[in-house]
A and B are shown apart, each in its own frame.
Chain A
Amino acid sequence: AQKVTQAQTEISVVEKEDVTLDCVYETRDTTYYLFWYKQPPSGELVFLIRRNSFDEQNEISGRYSWNFQKSTSSFNFTITASQVVDSAVYFCALSEVNSGNTPLVFGKGTRLSVIA
């Protein structure tokens, strides 16, 4: 069975600090996808990144970076120089590869508060 664990329920940081959100996953599949979504206070779910299981290369997008390590089944998300606009709930999710059908298994989310 698939499972995603986000052990940090809430994190609070001061603006400009770096923060890492942890994600640990479980799956029996050798081919799978990992995702991060952001849910700001307005409530919508915003897609941030997708990573497939064959690509362990870390990715950087502006102040965001992701560290994927199959050896520890982790897909951690780091925000550098955090800003108040980063305040949101962040979800990590996992899906099997099954043609176009990609139902997601979500972690419970981490609420990030960035204080000015």
Chain B
Amino acid sequence: DAGITQSPRHKVTETGTPVTLRCHQTENHRYMYWYRQDPGHGLRLIHYSYGVKDTDKGEVSDGYSVSRSKTEDFLLTLESATSSQTSVYFCAISEPVGDIYEQYFGPGTRLTVT
């Protein structure tokens, strides 16, 4: 268990409203990631963080911003939600296993934008 929680687990919101999803981890991992999962696309990287206040864009970052003010929390914000952002969002951490890093995922957040 990598100690990753996500909140909320489910959310329905209207187009144009801001939405923030939270990822919380308890084991002081440096690297954290946000992915979205859509039918026919698998999972795609939105943003990632390599430390407090250190973030970078992934493949599908348009329309999303992130923040990491504490090691344990990585927030994903949709400034103005659109229907195309209806998806399941997964947070992940990168954990060392010996000299190799493996990635483990949170339980996911199902977001519906109406």
Which residues of A are interface residues toward B (Cβ below 8 A)?
A: 4, 6, 33, 35, 37, 43-45, 47, 50, 52, 91, 93, 95, 99-109
Q: Which residue of A lies closest to B110 (CB)?
A: A43
A101 near B48 (CB under 8 angstroms)? Answer: yes
By secondary structure, the B interface counts as: strand
A47 near B104 (CB under 8 angstroms)? Answer: yes
- Give Cα A91 to B108, complex, Å: 16
In this complex, the member of B43, B44, B90, B108 whose beta carbon has the largest number of chain A beta carbons within 10 angstroms is B43
Which residues of B are interface residues toward A (Cβ below 8 A)?
A: 30-31, 33, 35, 40-45, 48, 50, 58, 88, 90, 92, 94, 96-97, 100-105, 107-108
- Give Cα A42 to B103, complex, Å: 19
Which residues of chain B are near A109, meaning CB under 8 Å?
Answer: 42
Min Cβ gap A108→B in Å is 4
A44 near B107 (CB under 8 angstroms)? Answer: yes
- Give Cα A52 to B50, complex, Å: 22
Which residues of chain A are near B42, meaning CB under 8 Å?
Answer: 4, 6, 91, 106-109
Q: Which residue of A lies closest to B97 (CB)?
A: A50
A102 near B40 (CB under 8 angstroms)? Answer: no
Q: Select one of B40, B43, B96, B97 contacting A91, CB under 8 A.
A: B43
Min Cβ gap B15→A in Å is 25
In this complex, the member of A4, A6, A93, A105 whose beta carbon has the largest number of chain B beta carbons within 10 angstroms is A105
Known: A91-B42, A107-B42. A101 touches B108 (CB 8 A): no
A43 near B88 (CB under 8 angstroms)? Answer: yes
Min Cβ gap B2→A in Å is 9
B40 near A106 (CB under 8 angstroms)? Answer: no
Q: Select one of A6, A44, A100 contacting B94, CB under 8 A.
A: A100
